């Protein structure tokens, strides 16, 4: 888990300009990495960028593969619809590859995704979640699905 520790800004004037130096540490483990973020006109308008940097260093949004197999007698069209609706509701950015194969973009871990989807499955159903590395290829996948994958950050 990434933890950002804020270091208060110093308002050192540089050649007549208002330049503030904001420092923060990002701890991804040990040792901590220290960054200095220079902003003109104050630091508050740039706090979002600082949070985005921390988010990116933590792994940011990743693409995950979700695949499942609904076992009989719980493999009706209603059962599939329940799981499909759950994935669409839980994850705003998704690509439905095949009947039981999805790609999603999220900041969650594979185990978090598993735990979120699991309540919509029966105890005999099978679920597999894995993070994609960005090395992918396809055949006859279709333009819409291919474009969704190309737009993702791996």
pLDDT of residue 109: 87
**Which ranges of the chain have pLDDT less than 50?**
1-34, 43, 45
pLDDT of residue 113: 94
Task: State how far the Cα of 87 lies from the Cα of 93, in Å rounded to an integer.
Answer: 10
Whether pTM > 0.85 for this model: the answer is: no
- Which tokens sit at 153? 């950050």
pLDDT of residue 92: 84
DSSP bridge pairs for 25: 5, 34
Tell me the CB-side half-sphere exposure of residue 87, using CA atoms within 13 A.
26
Q: Are 71 and 122 in contact (CB under 8 A)?
A: yes
């Amino acid at each position: 888990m990434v933890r950002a520790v804020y270091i208060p800004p110093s308002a050192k004037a540089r050649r007549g300009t208002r330049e503030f130096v904001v420092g923060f540490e990002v701890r991804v483990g040990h040792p901590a990495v220290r960054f200095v973020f220079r902003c003109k006109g104050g630091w508050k308008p740039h706090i979002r960028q600082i949070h985005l940097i921390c988010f990116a260093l933590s792994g940011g949004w990743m693409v995950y593969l979700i695949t499942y197999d609904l076992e009989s007698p719980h493999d009706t069209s209603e059962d599939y619809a329940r799981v499909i609706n759950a994935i669409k509701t839980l994850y705003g950015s998704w690509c439905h590859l095949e009947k039981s194969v999805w790609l999603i973009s999220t900041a969650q871990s594979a185990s978090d995704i598993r735990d979120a989807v699991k309540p919509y499955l029966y105890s005999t159903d099978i679920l597999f979640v894995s993070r994609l590395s960005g090395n992918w290829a396809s055949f006859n996948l279709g333009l819409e699905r291919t474009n969704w994958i190309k737009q993702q950050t791996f």
